[in-house]
Structure formats: structure tokens, C-alpha cells
């Protein structure tokens, strides 16, 4: 069987959409939200449908590229970057509680940008810190508070009374 990289990716994303969509009904709703036009299941459901439709279209439409074997489709890709980014994501998940959202996210973004090829230190630091603080502020304005982390409590800069 011959398949190219785009068709294989579309097939993976179609499977992901079907699996994700099957779990949308497991999202708990608040009392009285069952008949609301917009609830906790609305956006995940829309995301599953959009992902499924787009990946199905990608899967059935013809491509201009020649189809080859699956191993030929993935030959020459930068797998080292994929592994480094996956390790960065795991480290981010392990450190976000201890060193907090702002520091952990900034370090994750700096590592990701560096892995993807950005080498200028001022661009790495400035972009990561500004994006992190903007996102943190946006979440705070939406009423979602992310604690700065246990690191600041250990230093004594913040009280742990809350």
C-alpha cells in the first residue's frame, strides 16, 4: 500500500477527532446547563467536528505529490527536534507546580524557540516573557487564577494563607 505523509497525518487526526469526540459527553455539566446553548461541552464538541471534517477532507482529496511508501514519507525529517520538544513538554508538566506558571512557561517557550532555531538571546527572553505575562494576565482577567508556584512561597515573597 502506498501512502504519503499528508494522508497518514490526516488519518491520524481523523482517529484523534473520533476518539476526542467520543469523550465529549463525559465532560460534567453544571446543574441547569443541560439545555443551555453554550456549556462546557460546546467548544470541545465543535473542535472535534472541525478536526474530523478537515482531516476527512484532507484524506479524501487527491494530492499533487507522488505517493510513496510510508517510510519514504518520513525519511529526512528532524526527529531530534521532536524528541527534544517532547522532553520539554514533560519537564514543563513536572515543574509548573513547583516553580510556577510564569517561570515554567517562560523557560518552556525559550527552550522550544531555541530548539526550533532561534538563537538570539534577547529575542528568546523577551518573546517568551512577554507572551507568558500576556497570557497570564488574560487568564487573570477572565477570572482564572494561576498561582505563581511553590518557589515564591519558599522564598517568602508570598504568603501561603489563601
- The one-digit pLDDT tens for each residue of the chain (162 residues) are 457 778 888 999 999 999 999 999 898 888 887 778 888 888 999 999 999 999 998 888 877 665 566 566 567 778 899 999 999 999 999 999 889 899 999 999 999 999 999 999 999 999 999 999 999 999 888 888 887 777 777 777 665 554
Helix 101-115, helix 79-99: angle, nearest 10 = 170
Delimit the domains of the chain by residue range.
5-73, 79-155
Cβ–Cβ < 8 Å for 24, 41: yes
Phi-psi region of 76 (alpha: psi -120 to 50; beta: other; left: phi over 0): left
What number of H helices and E strands is found in the chain? 7, 0
Entry pTM: 0.61
C-alpha 122, offset from chain centre: 25
118: phi then psi, degrees, rounded to nearest 5: -80, 125
Amino acid at each position: 500500500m502506498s501512502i504519503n505523509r499528508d494522508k497518514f497525518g490526516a488519518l491520524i487526526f481523523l482517529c484523534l477527532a473520533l476518539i476526542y469526540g467520543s469523550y465529549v459527553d463525559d465532560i460534567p455539566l453544571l446543574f441547569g446547563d443541560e439545555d443551555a446553548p453554550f456549556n462546557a461541552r460546546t467548544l470541545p464538541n465543535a473542535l472535534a467536528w472541525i478536526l474530523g471534517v478537515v482531516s476527512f477532507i484532507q484524506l479524501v482529496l487527491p494530492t499533487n505529490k507522488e505517493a510513496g511508501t510510508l517510510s519514504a514519507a518520513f525519511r529526512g525529517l528532524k526527529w531530534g527536534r521532536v524528541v527534544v520538544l517532547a522532553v520539554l513538554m514533560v519537564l514543563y508538566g513536572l515543574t509548573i507546580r513547583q516553580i510556577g506558571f510564569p517561570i515554567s512557561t517562560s523557560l518552556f517557550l525559550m527552550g522550544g524557540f531555541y530548539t526550533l532555531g532561534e538563537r538570539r538571546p534577547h529575542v528568546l527572553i523577551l518573546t517568551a516573557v512577554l507572551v507568558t505575562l500576556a497570557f497570564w494576565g488574560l487568564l487573570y482577567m477572565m477570572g482564572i487564577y494561576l498561582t505563581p508556584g511553590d518557589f515564591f512561597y519558599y522564598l517568602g515573597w508570598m504568603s501561603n494563607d489563601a
